Amino acid sequence: MGSSGVHKAPGSLVRRELCLARLALPDAESVLRELSEALARAGLVAPTFCEALLAREASSPTGLPLAGRKVAVPHADPEHVLTPAIAVCTLARPVRFAEMGNPTSLLAVEAVFVLALTDKESAQAELVRLIGRLQVPELVDELCAAPDGDALLALLQER
């Protein structure tokens, strides 16, 4: 972590209260609302964050067609964020997210990473870094197998 406050490791933006394991939710909107609420409870985002997140996901889908399990990396614009963070959840049952760059394709997503970042430059860099880490199918498998938020946090911090 540099003196500018930019975090280098995605795990450094993740807090225990933002790691939710094996959620049983019916759809992508429910997942995004749950993760937005976790960020809001922690005082990290503005009250406008959830609706901004939902609107951005509708116009710019974030489902990633990775080689193994599918993930989504939604985010809202920086003006809705008070303190940089990443909220993470794994799902008991996959939910459908539209694919990034191909919105007519729906992916069965098993893990969601909501990026709450305060400027577009760091948001872009963090997204690229996170996607790079998620290219490792074993990591995504381990995250999806994590029994609780403590285990999720440990996996994200160790890599």
Q: For residue 2, what pLDDT is reported?
A: 35
**CA–CA separation, 95 and 85 (whole Å):** 23
Is 63 a residue whose pLDDT tops 50? Answer: yes
Average pLDDT of the chain is 90
Q: For residue 157, what pLDDT is reported?
A: 86
Q: For residue 159, what pLDDT is reported?
A: 60
pLDDT tens-digit map of 11-50: 578 999 999 999 999 999 999 999 999 999 999 999 999 9
Is 1 a residue whose pLDDT tops 80? Answer: no
Which pTM was predicted?
A: 0.90
Domain boundaries, the chain: 16-158
The span from the first CA to the last CA of the chain, in angstroms, equals: 15
- With tokens 């440990």, the residue in question is 154
Cβ neighbours for 100, distance < 8 A, ≥ 6 positions apart: 60, 61, 62, 63, 64, 65
Is 140 a residue whose pLDDT tops 60? Answer: yes
Please say whether the structural domain 16-158 has been given the CATH code 3.40.930.10: yes
